[in-house]
Structure 1
Amino acid sequence: MSHASSAQWCSPPGLLVLHAVRVTGLADDVAVAHRTGVDQHQVSELLQDNEAYGWVTHVGFAGTSGWTLTERGRAEDARRLAEELDKSGARATVEEAHRGFRPLNARLVRACTDWQLRPEADDRLAVNDHSDPEWDARVLDELSALAGDLRQLVGGLANALARFGGYDERFSAALARAREGQQQWVAGVGVASCHAVWMELHEDLLSTLGIARGAEPGSQ
């Protein structure tokens, strides 16, 4: 039985915590609590339970440590997401959002490439040294336009499934830092950069719909 999707669906803490680890890739208890809004003590208990079930494992490398999903954990997350999508009646909303996301994704990839590379006559792959303010301004303006599109897309998603809320705010926060001159907040790793937040939303959409990365229509 499907519920009408007119009311916002709020995911249970167990799904929020397990899915946050999947979407983030690697996250500690504090990061999961911050992302999900679930109390940190409850997050820690759930993660320990998930570890006992063999759904997550704690890893560390290069001075970073956190939880990551196992294959069993991915299967459990996929099962819960499919069940939630049916119960919430949100499938059509998420499918529509994914269709709208794909052209935006192409623009985001181009913008991040332009942030990292600035082709020259003798070198198409010349690194962008950020010495051309007009070039960088054009990229930041495109990211600002994408932020507006993202706000609309995420708003519609979050009205159906509450757990999709916040991506637009995190993207805009990263963009604001980039505009202040902190260049790593466009496409840097290790921070919640525009690119990192965008990739998480992409993974969230794909995993919610049960689409394997690389299996989207039109993907290489």
Structure 2
Amino acid sequence: MLDPYELTVHSLTLRQLGTAEQLADITGQDVAEVEAGLEKAVAAGFVMAARGSYLITPAGREHLDGVYPRAFEGLRADPQVTAAMEAFETGVNKQVLALTTDWQTIEVDGARVTNDHGDADYDAKIIDKLGRVHEKTAKVLRPLADADPLVDRFLDRIGTALTRAEGGETDYVSGVRVDSVHTVWFQMHEHILRLTGRERPE
């Protein structure tokens, strides 16, 4: 698996621009540990500092491309992980993408138009469906979560976003300025693709 330094650099492949605090929230590391890793990565040319935030450089991505096969060798050879990824891509991931579209748009007279969120019942049904898919995803990804605790952390963060959405904070469904279901799902998907050495489906 990734050591703490590698994990810090890796977190910038999941969030394109982030502060040490934001990256620590993704990985579960102490902020001080992340700050130390970022300082080391900047010195190595793997990360750039930008007004208190950080982003990965092409050299950083190249470095990780050399790290992943070693770090995740056992996981990638596990047939249960392979089966879990197939189930994820063909099932729950497509369901979440479809539900996100249904959240952002509604059908009016046979055409899709922007959802103004004036129909509370419609929105509540989408959030309820997302909750059921989240429960199913936890089961589908169990082989990965057993191998890498960060997968469970992503699932917990998605659950937190759902709870806030259910409580009326609807930005937590697909908002880009908060850790919404959609935002954290994207991060989780990117993470497990890198774990398993797969490309993101078109």
**Fold in common (TM above 0.5):** yes
> Of the candidates 135, 138, 146, which is equivalent to residue 148 of structure 1?
135
Which structure has more RCO (C-alpha within 8 Å, separation ≥ 6)?
A: 1
What is the match of residue 12 of structure 1?
3
Q: Does 1:26 align with 2:17?
A: yes
Structure 1, unaligned runs of 5 or more: 1-9
TM-superposed CA distance for 1:23, in Å, is 1.1
2:102 alignment partner, SS class: helix
- Equivalences for residues 54-203 of structure 1 within 5 A: 54-59=45-50, 66-86=53-73, 89-91=74-76, 92=78, 93-102=80-89, 103-121=91-109, 124-203=111-190
Does the Cα contact within 8 Å between 2:75 and 2:195 map onto a contact in 1?
Answer: no
Comparing 31-40 with 96-105, greater Cα deviation is found at: 31-40
Structure 2, unaligned runs of 5 or more: none
1:147 alignment partner, SS class: helix
TM-superposed CA distance for 1:41, in Å, is 1.9
TM-score, normalised to structure 2, is 0.90
What is the match of residue 26 of structure 2?
35
1:57-106 CA-partner distances (Å, limit 9, x unpaired):
1235xxxx5211111111111221211111xx211244233212112111
Does the Cα contact within 8 Å between 1:118 and 1:127 map onto a contact in 2?
Answer: yes
Q: Does 1:48 align with 2:36?
A: no
TM-superposed CA distance for 1:125, in Å, is 2.8
What is the match of residue 6 of structure 1?
none
Q: Which amino acid aligns with 1:194?
A: V
Whichever structure has more helix as a proportion of its residues is 2
Comparing 23-32 with 129-138, greater Cα deviation is found at: 129-138
TM-superposed CA distance for 1:37, in Å, is 2.7
Rounded Cα–Cα distance in structure 1 between residues aligned with 2:166 and 2:150: 28
Rounded Cα–Cα distance in structure 1 between residues aligned with 2:62 and 2:82: 21
Does the Cα contact within 8 Å between 1:175 and 1:186 map onto a contact in 2?
Answer: yes
Comparing 175-184 with 28-37, greater Cα deviation is found at: 28-37
1:166 alignment partner, SS class: helix
Rounded Cα–Cα distance in structure 1 between residues aligned with 2:4 and 2:120: 45
% of aligned pairs identical?
A: 28
When the two chains are superposed, the root-mean-square deviation of aligned CA atoms in Å is 1.8
Q: Which amino acid aligns with 1:125?
A: R
1:130-189 CA-partner distances (Å, limit 9, x unpaired):
222332122112101111012223433121123322111111110111111111100000
Change (3 A) 1:27 1:96: farther
